[in-house]
């Protein structure tokens, strides 16, 4: 279990929630800092980010699992001399 990651995320959540109702403690309230956009625009971005990051998180877990199962390739040769460096045509 990646407990370290969960601890980091939860610590961040505690900090953000614990600071309410301030955005900048003692200086700026969250209600004063909020934009005046229509709620429909903000719902669009909120839904978009949620959907996008769920898809990316699933893809990440599938690929990370695959890599971890495969393990490092210990027979890999060192890379050949880079030719690009010698070819100075841009």
Partner 1 sequence: MDIPNFLVAFWIGVAGLSLLLYVVLDGFDLGVGILSLAACDEDRRGLMMASLSSVWDANETWLVLLGGVLFGAFPPVYAALMQGLYIPVTVMLFALIMRGVAFEFGHASARKCLWNLTFGVGSLGAAVSQGMILGALIQGWPTHAGNYLGNGWHWFTPFTLLTALGVVLGYALMGAGWLILKSTGEMQDRAYRRGFWLLLGTLATGVLVLALTPLHNAHIASRWTGSTSLPYAVAGSVAIFAALLTLWAYLKRHEYWPFFGALLLFAASFIGLVVSLYPYAIIPALTWSASAASSGTQLFMLVGILPLIPIMLFYNGYQYLVFSGKVDGAAYSDDEAG
- Contact residues toward partner 1 (CB under 8 A) are 35-38, 40-42, 44-45, 48-49, 52, 56, 59, 63, 66-67, 70, 72-73, 76, 79, 82-90
Cβ-based nearer residue to partner 1, 12 or 63: 63
Tokens encoding 16: 């953000």
Q: How far is the CB of 86 from partner 1 (least distance, A)?
A: 8
Q: Count of residues for the chain?
A: 90
- Calpha distance 58→75 (Å, rounded): 30
What's the rounded Cα separation, in Å, for the pair 59 and 53? 10
Measure the CA angle with vertex 13, ends 56 and 18; round to 5°: 160
Q: Closest separation between CB of residue 31 and partner 1, Å? A: 14
Q: Considering the complex, what minimum distance in angstroms separates the CB of residue 61 from partner 1?
A: 12
């Amino acid at each position: 279990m990646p407990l370290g990651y969960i601890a980091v995320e939860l610590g961040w959540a505690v900090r953000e929630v614990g600071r309410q109702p301030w955005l900048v403690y003692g200086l700026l309230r969250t209600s004063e800092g909020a934009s005046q956009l229509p709620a429909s625009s903000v719902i669009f971005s909120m839904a978009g980010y949620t959907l996008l990051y769920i898809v990316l998180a699933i893809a990440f877990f599938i690929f990370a699992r695959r890599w971890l199962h495969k393990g490092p390739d210990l027979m890999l040769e060192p890379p050949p001399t880079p030719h690009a460096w010698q070819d100075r045509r841009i």
